[in-house]
């Protein structure tokens, strides 16, 4: 039961950190994750779907919302009109630069988990 209580406490702390982040940066965590993935070279909708573990419809809705905010644009190559890539706008690139100064205040336990996770999975692992 102790583990369950500790887990609940971690989840609550993480939710509070996410809410603070969203208020500070003006994006949901999913939107910010997508911006980060695009910035790291994942610009194809299928790559974004796989990298972020999202359904195709969720990726489309996120791209729609980011496009509406002026942070990304869709691009369809002339040679394959079925393919869609997503690029950051100048405003999106500026947000990435500014968000480097925005640090989440996380409990030590969560920071340790994130550090361990980052060792397991790198943004540079393109498929």
Q: What is the pLDDT of residue 76?
A: 85
The structure's pTM equals 0.72
* CB 124 within 8 Å of CB 39: no
Say which residues have a Cβ less than 8 Å from residue 1's Cβ, sequence separation at least 6.
Answer: none
CATH class in words for 2-120: mainly alpha
Reported as a single tens digit per residue, the pLDDT across 17-42 is 888 888 888 899 899 999 999 999 99
Reported as a single tens digit per residue, the pLDDT across 40-63 is 999 899 999 999 999 999 999 999
């Amino acid at each position: 039961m102790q583990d369950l209580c500790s887990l609940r406490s971690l989840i609550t702390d993480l939710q509070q950190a996410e809410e603070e982040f969203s208020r500070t940066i003006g994006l949901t965590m999913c939107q910010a994750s997508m911006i980060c993935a695009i910035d790291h070279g994942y610009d194809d909708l299928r790559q974004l779907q796989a990298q972020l573990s999202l359904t195709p419809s969720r990726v489309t809705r996120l791209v729609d919302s980011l496009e509406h905010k002026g942070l990304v644009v869709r691009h369809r190559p002339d040679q394959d009109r079925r393919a869609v890539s997503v690029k950051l706008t100048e405003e999106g690139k500026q947000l990435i630069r500014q968000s480097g100064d925005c640090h989440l205040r996380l409990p030590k336990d969560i920071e340790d988990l994130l550090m361990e996770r980052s060792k397991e999975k790198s943004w540079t692992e393109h498929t």
